[in-house]
Amino acid sequence: MSNRIDDTFARLQAAGQKAFIAYVTAGDPDMDRSLEIVRGLADAGADIIELGMPFSDPLADGIVNQLAADRALKAGANTSKVLDLIRRFRETHQTPIVLYAYLNPIITYGWDKFHVDAAAAGVDGILPLDLPPDEAAMHPEMASTHGLHSIHLIAPTTPAERVKLLAEKATGFIYALSRTGVTGAHGAPSDTIGETVARIRVHASAPVCVGFGINTPAQAAQVAAHCDGIIVGSAIVKQIEANATSPDVAAKVVAFTTPLIQAIR
């Protein structure tokens, strides 16, 4: 069965283009305006949307995304509503969706039920932040993802043998961190991105995309030169935070993001 992520990378590679992956927290600042933001990003040319599932203890995230999760939860977001948001998005758009998720909400919802419902809603991949693939392999009940791609994170400090494991098991694409640390904590991408991507590509069949620290069009173009796509999260989420009370928050987010997308075309 075809997956929208695979189709997107095939199209981009045939055109000699890089992917732009936009991250936002689902339900931030509320469910209706979150849907407007996601639709706006897709219309602006984002190739893949990465949706963070709001969680009360997002320990892998910096303060920007922690606050986004808090805003979403206070506005009533939960796993069921996130899946409903995706169903509503699928009424108008076919842009691939990746869920950036912590394990606790998935287990609470039910592993198999979550993957079945996510796939039916229109999700294409899941990035489980706190579930290493070797740990998942120890639990038979986690063997099936119902066709959803499993996106893996690889950091510059990841040992060589683990890079091999993660790269070989990844499907959809690989999320390569330009730096170590939590999300949103960096002022600029690392100058060793090329080396990080090269050591991943030795073992990877999936495209390699780079995130962390991309805030400007110049940085977007700089990073895109070394990989198959870039991921911009905290910089976009900051725009939502700054305009959280505005009815025009989606338009303001799109206005900020469009030059980043254009910089890698």
Asked about 91 being catalytic, the answer comes back as no
Which position among 6, 28, 36, 61 bears the catalytic label? Answer: 61
Going 191 to 132 to 113 to 58, the CA torsion angle's sign is negative
**CA dist 57 to 60, 68, 117, 201, Å?**
9, 12, 23, 32
Which position among 6, 28, 47, 50 bears the catalytic label? Answer: 50
Asked about 134 being catalytic, the answer comes back as no
Residues belonging to the active site: 50, 61
